[in-house]
Amino acid sequence: MEEALPRLSLALPEGGGLDPRSLFGDLGVTDVGLEVGFGGGEHLAAQAATNPRRGFIGCEPFLNGVVNLVDVIEREHLSNVRLFMGDARRVLAALVPDSLACVWVLFPDPWPKLRHAKRRFIEPATLDLLARVLKSGATLRCATDVPDLAVWMRDHLNAHPRFVREYDAPSPPPDHVPTRYERKALLAGRVPTYLEYRRP
């Protein structure tokens, strides 16, 4: 961790203006995707392994999750992953416009109490941030096993003028990679909702 985390971590420039492709040096990545709250990192690692020409940014403040993903990155020699150990909104705010090809928000913290609803990741201000950094044609995939949060996310995404719905179902899109949290939810008999929106 001491050696690998600084090498894999991205630093946010003070004034913003971060082009995410510049994080991958001479790897020559064609585009960049970002995962919000990658948890144990299984989904991000699988995406990085199957898409070596794409760069991936993982944002996660939870130390154990970061340790887990760093371990996988090192063992599998994944050179196309960069990490931010903190709030993904800080990365989104620092990126140049139209710079991401996809974003995943998979099984975010539900914040079930209405008085905590502002803490939910999918809300109008964050959707504005996402709409700014996703390029035309880029996708935002969200999933949750909490029915009230599914309604909340769908309503806010449908109401946003810069997102178009592409997918809304209780089964995952064909190219979906299950997360650790999702496996537990399925084992417990909960039925997730999978949503995908495109930036026109």
Ligand X SMILES: C[S@@+](CC[C@H](N)C(=O)[O-])C[C@H]1O[C@@H](n2cnc3c(N)ncnc32)[C@H](O)[C@@H]1O
Q: Looking at beta carbons, which residue is closest to ligand X? A: 37
Interaction residues for ligand X, span 83-142 (CB under 6 A) = 87-89, 106-109, 121
State in angstroms the smallest separation of the CB of 183 from ligand X: 8
User: By the 8 A CB rule, do 107 and 143 touch?
Assistant: yes
For ligand X, give the closer residue by CB, 55 or 108: 108
Q: How far apart are CA 75 and CA 152, in angstroms?
A: 39
Active site residue 109: yes
Q: Out of 109, 128, 148, 155, which one is annotated catalytic?
A: 109
Q: Percent helix, strand and coil across the chain, each rounded to 5?
A: 40, 25, 35
Q: Does 180 bind ligand X (CB under 6 A)?
A: yes
Residue 41 three-state SS = coil
132 to each of 17, 51, 87, 124, 129, how far by Cα in Å?
A: 12, 24, 17, 12, 5
Q: Which of 10, 20, 29, 37 binds ligand X (CB under 6 A)?
A: 37
For ligand X, give the closer residue by CB, 132 or 180: 180
> What residues make contact with ligand X under the rule CB under 6 A?
36-40, 59-62, 65, 87-89, 106-109, 121, 179-182
